[in-house]
Amino acid sequence: MTVAYDIKADIVDIRFDKPKHQDSFFVDTNVWYWLTYSQASVTARSSQVHAYPEYFKRIRSVSSQLFRCDLSLAELAHIIENTEYEIFCDAQKKNPKAYSKKEFRHSSVAGRHDVTQEIESAWMQVQQFSSAIPLTIDNAASDTFITDLKTNKLDGYDLFYLDVLRKNRLQILTDDGDFATVPGITVFTANLAVIDAARDSGKLTMR
């Protein structure tokens, strides 16, 4: 399935970009997943488990600043549990239609142990690599969320992250093409569909 992205952001292809010391990156949850979760290759494309870790090494080699939002912990935990559930069902030859994730959560002691260990390990690495940006979810944040919801094609987590990006004037490192449709931000990515669309629309930036 190919998404026709209407590119509004400035796009940087991380496969060829050289990070600079003065760069400040907000790291999206999908990138943290590929960087820190031991079983990420089960569901990821080859480009995702290679391009992002390679660029991450380049970022760290020049001591660019890396930031996170601790809301990412909830999203990361959700994704990791889903993958561990898929791995379990495949290994035990269980039909996901008959054996639910909730049943896995409550009935498989070993499976639950693996989930919690993987989440804890991944988040410890996220904390080690990045600095947290406080996010206050109050009435003002909710109002901004609803306003952005009407003008940007982002999911719930990403709408909160967008507010963080704007307030702190950060670039985002992500594989999520939705961010590429938001004007006024810079997206660093290896998403080929986004890169191709950005090239066609003149929004691909070479530094």
- Where exactly are the structural domains of the chain? 10-71+126-201
* CATH class of this structure's domain 10-71+126-201: alpha beta
- The arithmetic mean of pLDDT across residues 37-62, rounded, is 88
DSSP string, 5-56: ----SEEEETTT----TT-EEEEPHHHHHHHH-TTGGGTS-HHHHHHHHHHH
Taking all residues of the chain, what is their mean pLDDT, rounded to a whole number?
95
Q: What is the pLDDT of residues 136-177, one digit of tens each?
A: 999 999 999 999 999 999 999 999 999 999 999 999 999 999
Per-residue pLDDT of 50-90, as tens digits, reads 899 999 999 999 999 999 999 999 999 999 999 999 999 99
Q: Could you give the strand order of the β-sheet that contains 186-189, starting from the edge strand earlier in sequence?
A: 10-13, 186-189, 171-173, 24-27, 65-68, 131-132
Give the pair of three-digit tokens for residue 173: 């490192």
Model confidence at 2, pLDDT cuts 50, 70, 90, reads confident
pLDDT band at 44 (very low <50, low <70, confident <90, very high): low
CA dist., res. 163 & res. 178, Å (int): 15
User: What is the rounded distance in angstroms from the CA atom of residue 19 to the CA atom of residue 171?
Assistant: 12
Which range has the worst mean pLDDT, 89-98, 162-171, 195-204? 89-98
- Could you give the C-alpha distances from 194 to 96, 124, 198, 205, in angstroms and in order? 32, 31, 6, 12
Of 196, 194, 185, 191, the closest CA to residue 152 belongs to 185
Mean pLDDT confidence for 127-137: 95
